[in-house]
Structure 1
């Protein structure tokens, strides 16, 4: 839908627009920033059954929206995000707003500062409507292991899925993916126009694929990690979730760049003001990693992978098979390095300076032990114990050093492929579309994470940019996303190819069971849905 057609639709219809479209509507006066903010808050309330949000910042959001409205009314907007509602994963610090990491350990913690990426959005006039749910301390791939309960995938409640499913979504719903499942659900459910997540092994791209939204993991160091409560410092990257590639590019331009409070940040390369609307894909070489034909890959996902590869080829791009031979070792390598850094990062939560403190006071050691047992769930405790084991003097060379050596080989695999002339790699994002919650929880957290992050995790090991783009609906009427992987600091080229790909696919906008004009909207979804295997 174009921005001009939005003038003839109710304000609620604007929730489904892109950032570019709604930003123009704000400037044209077809909707006010306060109206838009109120609609997003109402949408959050209407979809509370998704459990996507931990905290709704209604009062603060309305104040920010009023200031944006005053700027827009006087013709002095701060930028393309002025007045645009956004949400933030609850492991980013937000000034005077509780930040919990979905853990009992941090319940009640109110940071005195904003994470750099959050502050950059606020400086552009964006309106923070809430903090989103996640796996505890971002350790998981389903957003099912947080203290505030699991996040439900919005596509569980679409009419198309209800017709395909033999189960009742109200009693056996779909997972949203993790660990940034709340952020993905917020964007997919039209509760916010963009959301920040964190990506350590696929934690934005995984839920982005399952919830049918664009999820960008930038080059490591391009976005500041200051204020992001760390999981794995050497792999953590703030991620961007939007409903279009163009919107993700807009947000990236605003947030990227060096930060004196984060020594790992790098100077952002110069880029054009926007993505090109017309791009000659014939100049692009697309690699298809043969090792990504993994065990358990669903037929739906394989068919879409093949279809999109053929689409590139028919448009004139050069498509060829490539090899990343050390990919098979990536998950084991990641598990060792992740646990080692978790053991180090979680040591700060001792009950002394902030966060939960046990009432046990028989000794300092007893207080430490009880505090950490009460504050952390089983997943976090197991990773801490594993990391401490790997870092023992007797084990250090056998596990940590070997894992670092393997990480270098994995990185070199990518380097060699790109040196051969490949511009981007096209891969699946997840093994299948979203699974039922009851099926997902049958496996333990480590097994689930290994299965779900098999295609995304190597990217973090190498620090490369990657983006998930929704491609089509599966036979069950659920989103299937594919991943594009780019070269270091070639984020703009990656997004340019992703934008071209998105234009060819025309992925349908979500419409819930019970929406107004339901018949018309569902028909629109059906008409734009690609048949699997076509």
Structure 2
């Protein structure tokens, strides 16, 4: 069997037993990438020479010793590119430092394999907004992989990576995981350091794993979680042993079914698979409880005020002065700013910067941004009330399976609405995970994966993984 089709946990056992070497894994992945990635477009760059060197010297006593991991291309790794899927950083920028998660992966013995494609500056739900290349869904090449972590999800689903890291600002780990049929975990806000992640919306961004199994997600989260003095939003709280929680089952647990997540607009087959997954958990001993999250209908509008507002501030540093895209022969400083940003940013990034600048502008701040923050508080309180009644919540990840490439190219609003089921977790700061729960046949006969979303309270990743393991097919 090809090593590239295996899991972190299985490969770790083989490495410790001396049945394979870490270099064998890298070589097998390199062969798979050379054979298939031109058709999928998961990777933007590879460091196979560095990966082989790291693998040759891997310490197999470490938790991730010798195991290759791919990184979304907005997470800094010393000496490697970090393009964020943008023309702005395509040339002229090499990371001068490691992100905290990158350093923790290295410290745990992991081997960094390559950089995965993404929507430009993580702004998108399909990885169609990447300025550098298109990523296709490994299950159906004519469909999107999801986004913005589409490259990471596609790499894992296509066995071009054993596991990967992505970032999730409004569903960007969970939604592509659902569309590609892998496991994708968004940790609670503050559980994992954001230091070294190129910021999109600082109060919403989180880094998390995309893996083939829940067990692997627990292993990878264990390695990257924990306090960090370089990130003031990263919480100084103990990190549980996540792997210990996996076999405890769901007997006696109360699992919430929010009525707002199963209404109009949800594909009937998606709903059926999610409901079947809930029934399996009920059979395993959980109690299903209908709950309400009444402010869900306002989540999209709230998110698309807060996130662009924060993005307009964060992306102001990209001005053509210190690094990245710099316009040729500018007439003056203002011309340098304007042309560098015009030439460097793609249409979706420009759209969100304009929207964010507008809602923060004088005369509109109170009408839009301030009001959105108040609604965000109501959404968070909805979850707090719900978690007073249940241990975790079950919902679909996306309203429908992966759509065709280019299907809504001229309709950004439709794309924004596709995140309606995932945005709430980011606004509330809670943790969430997508676990494959079935598939839907497309008109061409391909099987399109469907993900079950499990949500748990802030810092309750142990509970989240426990339920996810029980739900895993």
- Correspondences of 1:69-468 after superposition (within 5 Å): 71=59, 77-108=60-91, 109-156=93-140, 169=141, 173-272=142-241, 274-276=243-245, 278-420=247-389, 422-444=390-412, 446-448=413-415, 450-468=416-434
- Correspondences of 1:502-513 after superposition (within 5 Å): 502=472, 505=473
Runs of 4+ in 1 over 4 A off after TM superposition: none
Name which one, 1 or 2, has greater alpha-carbon Rg: 1
Q: CA deviation at 1:364?
A: 0.6
2:247/2:469 contact within 8 Å kept: no
* Aligned counterparts of 2:330 and 2:409: Cα–Cα separation in 1: 36
1:300/1:475 contact within 8 Å kept: no
1:60 aligns with 2:50: yes
1:44 aligns with 2:33: yes
Does the residue aligned with 1:480 lie in a helix, a strand or coil? Answer: strand
What is the count of residue pairs matched by the alignment?
A: 467
2:218/2:242 contact within 8 Å kept: no
Q: 1:182 to 1:271 in 2, by over 3 A?
A: same
Does the residue aligned with 1:202 lie in a helix, a strand or coil? Answer: coil
Q: CA deviation at 1:435?
A: 1.4
Task: Write out per-residue CA displacement over residues 478-533 of structure 1, whole angstroms, 9 at most, x where no aligned residue.
Answer: 2111100001111111101111111xx2xxxxxxxxxxxxxxxxxxxxxxxxxxxx
* Aligned counterparts of 2:235 and 2:465: Cα–Cα separation in 1: 19
Task: Give the structure-2-normalised TM-score.
Answer: 0.96
* Aligned counterparts of 2:414 and 2:350: Cα–Cα separation in 1: 16
| Structure 1, gaps ≥5 residues long | 1-8, 72-76, 157-168, 506-534
1:206/1:452 contact within 8 Å kept: no
Q: CA deviation at 1:150?
A: 1.6
Q: CA deviation at 1:294?
A: 3.8
1:29 aligns with 2:12: no
* Aligned counterparts of 1:482 and 1:104: Cα–Cα separation in 2: 35
The equivalent residue for 1:483 is: 453
* Aligned counterparts of 1:337 and 1:276: Cα–Cα separation in 2: 35
Root mean square deviation, CA, Å: 1.3
Task: Give the structure-1-normalised TM-score.
Answer: 0.86
Q: CA deviation at 1:277?
A: 5.5
Which one has a larger percent helix, Structure 1 or Structure 2? 1
| Structure 2, gaps ≥5 residues long | none
Task: Write out per-residue CA displacement over residues 90-134 of structure 1, whole angstroms, 9 at most, x where no aligned residue.
Answer: 001111111100111111210110111011111112111110001
* Aligned counterparts of 1:281 and 1:287: Cα–Cα separation in 2: 13
- Correspondences of 1:1-40 after superposition (within 5 Å): 9=1, 12=2, 14-40=3-29
Q: CA deviation at 1:274?
A: 2.1
Does the residue aligned with 1:130 lie in a helix, a strand or coil? Answer: strand
